[in-house]
Amino acid sequence: MDLNNLLSQIGIGSRETVYLSVTPGVGLELIQIDPGTKTVNKYSYRPLQYNDSLREIANLEGFKTAVTELFAELKINPKCNVVLNMPMVLFGIKELPVLLGDEAVTEALTSEVEQSYVFKRYEPIVSWIDVSNSNSGEMRRLFYTAIQKNIVDDIKNILQEIGSTLISVEVSLTSVLKALSYSNLTETQMQDGISWNLMLISQNGYSICSMVGKNIVDYYEEPLAIKSFEGDEIYNAINASAQITLMSFPANYLYIVSETDMVSAELLASRLQAEGIVNYLENNDFKKQDIIPVSLEILEETARKISLEAIGIAAPVNMPVKFNFLNAPGKDGNGENPDEPVHVVLGSQEFDISPNMARNFALIIAAVIIVPALLLFMFVPMVVKNKQAQLDDINSKLSNVQAEIKKLEEEQNKFKDFDVNSEIKKVLNDNRSKLMSYTALGDSIPKKLWLTYFVAKDDGKIDIKGESSNVEDVYTFYRNLKDSLINTKLRLHKLEMKSDSIDDAVSIDLNQSSDYQFEITNMTDSELNPAPPAAEKAPANPEPKPEKEEASKMLNKPLLNIGK
């Protein structure tokens, strides 16, 4: 989808622009060009009588019929903008004092134009441009052209009846120059500083437009009754007349354009004796190829009718010389039409936009910008209030955290004597001591000795209880422990025979093996038998101790001495 279609969908470009050209020899042409491909995508024409002597449309009703039929054929919405090309009625050059204002200039040029026979019957509309190189001189050089006011008014009214709006009227000379530039046919000639002449052959004679690049510097028109000549007489007449004229306009190039079927530009170029390089273009029935590419939907026979004027009026080209009779100087002094579309290029997209379209587009852009701004103006205070509440909550939590940190720092200062390294070393030493105890215990146990109790505390205290079938194994076990745990200060705290009664203890046979109980420790008696809490009191009437306890008392004595 191109930009024009997009603008149409949003209501900005709903009125498209079409281009009409009143071209003698062809009729009324309707054309539209795709700027992206430089291709004619819509074209058709209708015969239209044009009076070459009076320089006017012979039948305005025929103009209305032709426009209506062209719109219907090419499916053009009649509610559109129209840019119109008209055959040039009069063109001249005039020098006037710089002191004259625009209105005075228009009046002076109008008086000059009214001297022409064409405008003795009808009021003219004069359009002019100032081509002076500077304003420092006393005179300024003006190019001016004129057209019948009644013709322009009638065409405007006819288009209004159809529903169209006439926004610009241009003359054929500037349209031809635009077409030559757009088609690159005069690319070499239209370079800065290059002098060349454009020779236009029409039904009424020929004109020579002296150019430097894209700028007109001089103009000459020679009337000739071309229809009165037969055969090659016309070429001889033009050659004889143009040789003298071209001597007054020396240039590097001559470009001949024939707009009448009575004269071939190719044949004239071969016979005309002129200095410099001569090029030509057939803008008539002698045309052999299209000026610019056309859409495949346009028939070849129809495409051959496309004139330079039609291409020039639709071509998006800005030329230094441009006239518009709908807003001629003297009304606002700028020679520009406020309703004339402006050609805009955005990247690879090109389109024409009128002031009304631009105004609508600006309103949409303003709405797109202003509406969000208003919404922001309304909702920003609410958002700020919400964010401020969140910030206050975060600051409150931050104060609480800082208070906790301060409290922890104060508590940490109370334990300045706490030495982490010494505590770690102490734990490692305790664990090492326990590990050594376990290792020594496993290496020192004889085969006929077994343990019934073992404890190793963090402070290095050890208590081992066990049984053995003989005393030698107990002593062996004890010595092994002493050798393995050198600094533990172990002692054999208890060694006694295991017996359940006194009779068994008295009747011991030393030749038989007996079981012995032992205890090896480095604890003190108070550590081995801590005192009971003060709250626990002995019973008032203690019961007599059982016989077994009495036997245990006796076993605590060195009974082995009896045996010895």
From 290, 306, 330, the end of a domain falls on 290
Q: Which residues pair with 40 in a beta bridge?
A: 33, 294
For the segment 251-265, the average pLDDT, to the nearest whole number, is 92
Cα–Cα distances (Å) from 335 to 242, 318, 328, in that order, read: 33, 14, 5
Instruction: Determine the Cα–Cα distance for residues 506 and 500; give it in Å rounded to an integer.
Output: 12
* Higher per-residue confidence, 534 vs 368: 368
b (16+ CB within 10 A) / e for 495-523: bbbebeebeebeeeeeeeebebbbbbbbb
Kindly report the CATH number assigned to the domain that includes residue 85. 3.30.420.40
Q: 477-483: long-range contacts (C-beta < 8 A, 24 or more apart)?
A: 477/444, 477/445, 477/446, 477/449, 477/520, 478/518, 478/520, 480/440, 480/443, 480/444, 481/440, 481/441, 481/444, 481/520
Assigned domain for 394 exists:
no
Cβ-Cβ contacts under 8 Å for 322 (sequence gap 6 or more) = 129, 170, 174, 335
505, pLDDT greater than 60: no
* Higher per-residue confidence, 425 vs 478: 478
Name the pLDDT band for 372 (thresholds 50, 70, 90): confident
Instruction: Determine the Cα–Cα distance for residues 61 and 312; give it in Å rounded to an integer.
Output: 26
Assigned domain for 260 exists:
yes
Range picked from 209-213, 322-326, 341-345 for highest mean pLDDT: 209-213
pTM above 0.85, yes or no: no
b (16+ CB within 10 A) / e for 315-324: bbbebebbbb
Q: Of 95-109, 161-175, 276-290, 473-487, which gets the smallest average pLDDT?
A: 473-487
Q: Of 41-45, 46-50, 251-255, 436-440, which gets the smallest average pLDDT?
A: 436-440
CA-wise closest residue to 55 among 124, 129, 142, 153: 124
Instruction: Determine the Cα–Cα distance for residues 43 and 29; give it in Å rounded to an integer.
Output: 7
Write down the mean pLDDT value for the chain.
Answer: 80
CB 251 within 8 A of CB 210: yes
CB 352 within 8 A of CB 17: yes
CB 358 within 8 A of CB 341: no
* Higher per-residue confidence, 255 vs 427: 255
Same domain? For 24 and 112 the reply is yes
Same domain? For 482 and 333 the reply is no
Count of structural domains within the chain: 3
For the segment 515-527, the average pLDDT, to the nearest whole number, is 85
Q: Of 270-279, 326-335, 374-383, 429-438, which gets the smallest average pLDDT?
A: 326-335
* 3-state SS, one letter per residue, for 515-552: CEEEEEECCCHHHHCCCCCCCCCCCCCCCCCCHHHHHH
pLDDT at 335: 41
Same domain? For 121 and 262 the reply is no
For the segment 230-236, the average pLDDT, to the nearest whole number, is 85
499, pLDDT greater than 60: yes
CA-wise closest residue to 440 among 495, 471, 486: 486
Span 277-335, pLDDT tens digits: 999 999 988 888 888 999 999 998 899 999 999 999 999 888 888 888 886 553 333 34
Assigned domain for 34 exists:
yes
CA-wise closest residue to 141 among 249, 250, 219, 251: 219
Same domain? For 83 and 155 the reply is yes
Assigned domain for 258 exists:
yes
pLDDT at 139: 87
pLDDT at 47: 94
CB 218 within 8 A of CB 226: no
Same domain? For 196 and 345 the reply is no
pLDDT at 110: 92
* 3-state SS, one letter per residue, for 405-455: HHHHHHHHHCCCCCCHHHHHHHHHHHHHHHHHHHHHHHHHCCCCEEEEEEE
Q: Of 174-178, 506-510, 528-532, which gets the smallest average pLDDT?
A: 506-510
Assigned domain for 335 exists:
yes
Same domain? For 197 and 165 the reply is no
CA 42 to chain centre: 34
- Distance spanning both ends of the chain, measured CA to CA: 126
Assigned domain for 384 exists:
no
CB 67 within 8 A of CB 158: yes
Assigned domain for 373 exists:
no
Span 54-104, pLDDT tens digits: 889 999 999 999 999 999 999 999 999 999 999 999 999 999 998 888 899
Cβ-Cβ contacts under 8 Å for 508 (sequence gap 6 or more) = 497, 514, 559, 563
Question: What percentage of the chain carries pLDDT values higher than 90?
Answer: 35
From 336, 353, 370, the end of a domain falls on 353
The range of the structural domain enclosing residue 427 comes to 422-528+545-563
Assigned domain for 398 exists:
no
For the segment 219-239, the average pLDDT, to the nearest whole number, is 86
* Higher per-residue confidence, 427 vs 54: 54
From 267, 290, 313, the end of a domain falls on 290
Same domain? For 201 and 64 the reply is no
Same domain? For 28 and 95 the reply is yes
pLDDT at 151: 92
Name the pLDDT band for 28 (thresholds 50, 70, 90): very high
3-state secondary structure of 127: strand
Same domain? For 345 and 304 the reply is yes
For the segment 259-288, the average pLDDT, to the nearest whole number, is 90
Instruction: Determine the Cα–Cα distance for residues 237 and 229; give it in Å rounded to an integer.
Output: 9
Q: Token pair of 240, please? A: 């004889």
Neighbours of 278 (CB within 10 A): 18
Same domain? For 202 and 319 the reply is no
Same domain? For 19 and 110 the reply is yes
For the segment 482-489, the average pLDDT, to the nearest whole number, is 77
Same domain? For 445 and 313 the reply is no
- Strands, E assignment, 61-174: 81-86, 90-97, 124-130, 139-148, 165-171
